[in-house]
């Protein structure tokens, strides 16, 4: 039993995977995107995005330490043509934030109001590198229970392992709780000082994830119709967030002297599959 618990703890602490690596070209369509936000407006477009605050009171998954604020400039704003998601070390209050759950950090989590699906995604971003940071670009469907509902992680990086980005798929049969998640990782030495295009090509027969026009992960659909292996057959919502700490992000602790931490997104573009 002790060995089993240790194995589960290790799986939880390393949510990435390295078993589906590839090296291949992938190119964004040359046509106009079906959905795009260039973040040129003075404020976050709340017709395109909503703020997810659903678990503030009870606490977020993976033992993360942040409170996700709704439409608060300190945590989500547009500056010089980029969306800045900023994590801050601060104590809030229930007088101003009724759903505050006692967290010592604040941040933001944005979700597309429009569910998206098969097609090509490109999110140009610069990542935070501070210990305790956990930025992510990912997708979840509406409704369902995790992991059976499926999760597509286009990009995740933890600050204690800065410069290594991860692409991962989770489903009922393949997920980090079982240690069977499918994905790959890529070393990006300037991930925190330069913008890169984090990309997804989602098709019925395969999911390919890469960066700057080069794929580094591909998972084929080898079990069509098997929801345990491949639930990725309905529209999902795109999510941008910056978590603090947690089982993976906080594996090496949180550097409280490094706040604020900033996750910068230059643009989001999506081309629906024809």
**231 pLDDT band (50/70/90 cuts)?**
very high
| Percent of the chain topping pLDDT 90 | 93
Q: In total, how many domains does the chain have?
A: 1
In the predicted model, is pLDDT for residue 165 greater than 50?
yes
In the predicted model, is pLDDT for residue 15 greater than 90?
no
In the predicted model, is pLDDT for residue 4 greater than 70?
no
Which residues participate in catalysis according to the annotation?
Answer: 151, 156
**169 pLDDT band (50/70/90 cuts)?**
very high
| Percent of the chain topping pLDDT 70 | 93
Residue 244 sits in a domain whose CATH number is 2.60.120.200
**234 pLDDT band (50/70/90 cuts)?**
very high
In the predicted model, is pLDDT for residue 12 greater than 60?
no
pTM of the model: 0.94
pLDDT, tens only, 18-36: 689 999 999 999 999 999 9
pLDDT for the residue 96? 97
The residue that leads in pLDDT, 242 or 14, is 242
SS3 sequence of the chain: CHHHHHHHHHHHHCCCCCCCEEEEECCCCCCCCCEEECCCCCCCCCCCEEECCCCCCCCCHHHECEEECCCCCCCEEEECCEEEEEEEECCCCCCCCCCCCCCCEEECEEEECCCECCEEEEEEEECCCCCCEEEEEEEECCCCCCCCCCEEEEEECCHHHCCEEEEEEECCCCCCCCCCCEEEEEECCCCCCCCEEEEEEEECCEEEEEECCEEEEEEECCCCCCCCCCCCCCCEEEEEEEEEEHHHHCCCCCCCCCCCEEEEEEEEEEEECC
Q: What is the mean pLDDT of residues 165-176?
A: 96
Residue range of the domain that includes 159:
2-272
**16 pLDDT band (50/70/90 cuts)?**
low
**175 pLDDT band (50/70/90 cuts)?**
very high
């Amino acid at each position: 039993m002790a060995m089993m618990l240790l194995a589960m703890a290790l799986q939880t602490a390393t949510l990435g995977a390295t078993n589906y690596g590839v090296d291949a070209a992938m190119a964004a369509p040359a046509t106009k995107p079906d959905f795009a936000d260039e973040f040129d407006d003075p404020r976050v477009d709340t017709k395109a995005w909503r703020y997810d605050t659903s678990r503030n009171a009870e606490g977020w998954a993976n033992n993360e330490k942040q409170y996700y604020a709704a439409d608060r400039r300190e945590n989500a704003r547009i500056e010089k043509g980029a969306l800045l998601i900023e994590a801050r070390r601060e104590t809030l209050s229930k007088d101003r934030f009724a759903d505050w759950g006692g967290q010592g950090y604040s941040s933001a989590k944005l979700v597309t109001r429009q569910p998206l699906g098969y097609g090509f995604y490109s999110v140009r971003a610069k990542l935070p590198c501070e210990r305790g940071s956990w930025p992510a670009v990912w997708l979840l469907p509406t409704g369902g229970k995790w992991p059976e509902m499926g999760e597509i992680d286009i990009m995740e990086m933890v600050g204690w392992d800065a410069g290594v980005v991860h692409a991962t798929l989770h489903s009922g049969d393949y997920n980090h709780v079982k240690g069977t998640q499918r994905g790959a990782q890529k070393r990006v030495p300037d991930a925190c000082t330069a913008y890169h295009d984090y990309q997804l090509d989602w098709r019925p027969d395969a999911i390919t994830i890469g960066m700057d026009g080069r794929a580094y992960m591909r998972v084929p659909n080898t079990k069509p119709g098997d929801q345990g292996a491949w639930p990725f057959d309905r529209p999902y919502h795109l999510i941008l967030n910056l978590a603090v700490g947690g089982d993976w992000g906080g594996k090496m602790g949180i550097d409280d002297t490094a706040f604020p931490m900033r996750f910068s997104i230059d643009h989001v573009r999506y081309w629906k599959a024809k």
